[in-house]
A and B are shown apart, each in its own frame.
Chain A
């Protein structure tokens, strides 16, 4: 059938323009609620546009009019079948959102505890291997240790304790920003490598553990275990768990991307991706604190601050973090279960 396009366009224009106007108003103000009459009108106009597009399709005409109707139908479909968006810029709303985030994050963490366990396991395996390698094979030291840790531990400890590397407050401030951004980048990479079905994430966690174990073993071997504990614990109490949580998020991402399950993958991703980024948001907050501690506290050694004090501070942080992740948000149902 050859369609009478002139009449078709003339008859359809009023409805198409009305639909376009409605969609433009929704696009300009996504938080705007439609009245019942407007919602009904939107649906009616959408169905009419679908029918008009079908008539054109049947007539096998693929010109500008077809493209126009195609775009119009796609826009209307998205507005009708997408979940509503509510976006408020008030301070009260953002304060409430922040509070809700800090209550929600531990629940996400506990929900996916098995992936955290996997991250811990891989890191511990790396630590064990790195420690054993450095302990029983001196040739492993230049291979496993970062360049900044290759100097003689005794020399390094002496330099630090005599304040020869002491930073001014200005340098400390700048250093803290560098640490925070660097650590977030590394954590983000660990998370993002979840797209490799978690293989890249696992490798990164393992190599991180290797270096950690090698450094700890080298300094412990030479009798500077307290120094290392005092140096690493104040910021490590938050920094190391944050990289583990990054690994947890990476494995969660890998799980969402993996094939299988009753739910289509695209729907699974659409609904569950916020959990991945909730974990990322939480670890970013942890890394900000860790960066500040590392720049302003960890670099001060005995006799200025006793190592036992520093270790106690680090352990206290670890206990508080464990309590936060274990207890906050308990008693309220997970949002999917509500």
Chain B
């Protein structure tokens, strides 16, 4: 629908020069307008998906991309097939056939996608994540109880460790109330598993507790070593 609006807007812009042609060559202007409108409606999506590796303007806005179902780059045949077969997917109106095909397809493919062996996926902006989220070289009060830290490392499964890291890495994406509740639940879970002394555990906010926890689980520093206390983290101040 977004691409449809873009097409209509583009055609309105392009038809302006044709109106200049109208007074002298009305038939030619009309014919060119009809031909151009037809070509754009038929080939707009195919042309852009070919040039932009599976994206049109609308797909870029919505964060979608057409990809080959087996991970290979799109071929011109695939791009043409999935777009020109819209005439069937659009039957009888408002893409009813295409929508029904998506509903029954495991990969949410309309008929054009099935014929072209393509799927539409959400694009992911991939960049190397900021590793400061799990920075482990600061002072860690858990190291004052190395035997408990060792037990913590031994009893924590890789899934639980990944969960802690994930929660810390997604800090900025969580609402404040949700984040505080989540961190409190996680901290309580691990504290019940390996209870650190009150003088260590009670001095920590749930977020700091989890950062210390990540430092114990993922650090390469031997558990017997202790670093000097450093400046308080910015997250504690919030």
Residues of A whose CB lies within 8 Å of any CB of B are 1-7, 9-10, 13, 16-17, 27, 59-65, 67-68, 71-72, 74, 77-79, 81-82, 85, 168-174, 176-178, 180-181, 184-185, 188-189, 191-193, 195-196, 200, 253, 257, 265-266, 269-270, 273-274, 276-277, 280
**Closest CB-CB distance, A274 to chain B, in whole Å?**
4
Asked whether B53 lies within 8 Å of A185 as measured between CB atoms, the reply is no
Known: A6-B134, A60-B158. A82 touches B34 (CB 8 A): no
Residue of A74, A173, A274, A276 with highest tally of chain B CB at under 10 A: A173
Report the minimal beta-carbon distance from B181 to chain A, rounded to whole angstroms.
20
Cross-chain contact of B158 among A1, A82, A173, A273 (Cβ < 8 A): A1
Closest beta carbon of chain B to A42's beta carbon, Å: 15
A174 touches B218 (CB 8 A): no
Q: Is the CB of B124 within 8 A of A4?
A: no
Q: Is B195 interfacial (CB-CB < 8 Å)?
A: no
Chain B residues with CB under 8 A of A177? 30-32, 34-35
B111 within 8 A of A: yes
A266 touches B27 (CB 8 A): no
B26 located at the interface, meaning its Cβ lies under 8 Å from any Cβ of chain A in the complex:
yes
Q: Report whether B87 and A192 are in contact in the complex, using a CB–CB cutoff of 8 Å.
A: yes
- Beta-carbon contact of A3 and B116 below 8 Å: no
Q: B215's closest neighbor in chain A, by CB?
A: A6
Residues A60 and B162 in contact, CB atoms below 8 Å apart:
yes
CB-nearest residue of chain B to A17: B128
What is the interface size of chain B, counting residues whose CB is below 8 A from a CB of the partner? 56
Given contacts A81-B72, A270-B77, A195 and B115 within 8 Å (CB-CB): yes
Q: Which residue of A lies closest to B31 (CB)?
A: A177
Q: How far is the CA of A191 from the CA of B88 in the complex (A)?
A: 10
Residue of B nearest to A7 (CB): B220
| Cβ A6 vs Cβ B126 within 8 A | no
Interchain CA distance A180-B127 in the complex, whole Å: 49
- Contact in complex: B76, A68 (CB < 8 Å): no
Q: How far is the CA of A320 from the CA of B94 in the complex (A)?
A: 42
Nearest first, the 4 A-B pairs at minimum CB distance are A173-B27, A273-B77, A170-B27, A64-B129
Please report which residues of chain B, range 197-238, place their CB below 8 angstroms from some CB of chain A when the two chains form the complex. Answer: 217-220
Q: CB-CB < 8 A to B53: which residues of A?
A: 27
B55 an interface residue at 8 Å Cβ cutoff?
Answer: no
Contact A5 B72 (CB under 8 A): no
Report 30 cross-chain contacts, Cβ distance below 8 Å, ordered by A residue: A4-B218, A5-B218, A6-B131, A6-B219, A6-B220, A9-B129, A13-B128, A16-B128, A61-B161, A68-B126, A68-B128, A68-B129, A74-B71, A78-B71, A78-B72, A81-B72, A177-B32, A177-B34, A180-B35, A181-B35, A185-B38, A188-B87, A193-B88, A253-B115, A265-B117, A266-B69, A269-B115, A273-B75, A273-B77, A277-B81
* Residues of chain A contacted by B136 (CB below 8 angstroms): 6
Residues B111 and A172 in contact, CB atoms below 8 Å apart? no
- Structural contact, A174 and B77, CB atoms closer than 8 A: no
Interface status of B106 (Cβ within 8 A of chain A) = no
A1 to B129: give the CA distance in the assembly, Å. Answer: 22
Pair count A-B, CB < 8 A: 157
Q: Is B114's beta carbon under 8 Å from chain A?
A: yes
Partner-A contacts on B (CB < 8 A)? 26-28, 30-32, 34-35, 38, 42, 53, 68-73, 75-78, 80-81, 84-85, 87-88, 111-112, 114-117, 124, 126-129, 131, 134-136, 153, 156, 158-159, 161-162, 165-166, 169-170, 217-220
Q: Shortest beta-carbon distance, B169 to chain A, in Å?
A: 5
* Secondary structure class of chain A's binding surface, majority of residues: helix
Across-interface contacts of B126 in A (CB, < 8 A) = 67-68, 71-72
A257 to nearest B CB, angstroms? 6
Contacts of B129 in A (CB 8 A): 9, 63-65, 68
Residues from chain A with a CB closer than 8 A to the CB of B78 are 269-270, 273
Residues from chain B with a CB closer than 8 A to the CB of A171 are 27
Instruction: Say yes or no: B135 contacts A6, CB within 8 Å.
Output: yes
Instruction: Tell whether, in the assembled complex, residue B71 and residue A2 are in contact, meaning their CB atoms are under 8 Å apart.
Output: no
Complex Cα–Cα for A195 and B80 (A) = 14
- CB neighbours (8 Å) of A172 from chain B are 27
Distance to closest chain A CB from B85 (angstroms): 5
Q: B238 CB to closest chain A CB, in angstroms?
A: 21
Inter-chain CA distance A62–B164, complex, in Å, is 11
* Cβ-defined partner of B30 (8 Å) among A65, A173, A269: A173
**C-alpha spacing A61/B34, complex, angstroms:** 55
The docked-state distance in angstroms from the alpha carbon of A17 to that of B126 is 11
> Once the chains bind, are A273 and B81 in contact (CB under 8 Å)?
yes
Kindly identify which residue among A61, A63, A193, A269 contacts B117, using a CB–CB cutoff of 8 Å. A269
Chain B residue numbers with a CB within 8 Å of A169 are: 27
Contact across chains for A77 and B71 when beta carbons are under 8 A apart? yes
Q: Are B156 and A270 in contact (CB under 8 A)?
A: no
Min CB–CB distance B161 → chain A (angstroms): 5
Which of chain A's residues have a CB closer than 8 A to the CB of B42? 188
Known contacts being A1-B158, A17-B128, A195-B114, is A174 close to B88, with CB within 8 Å?
no
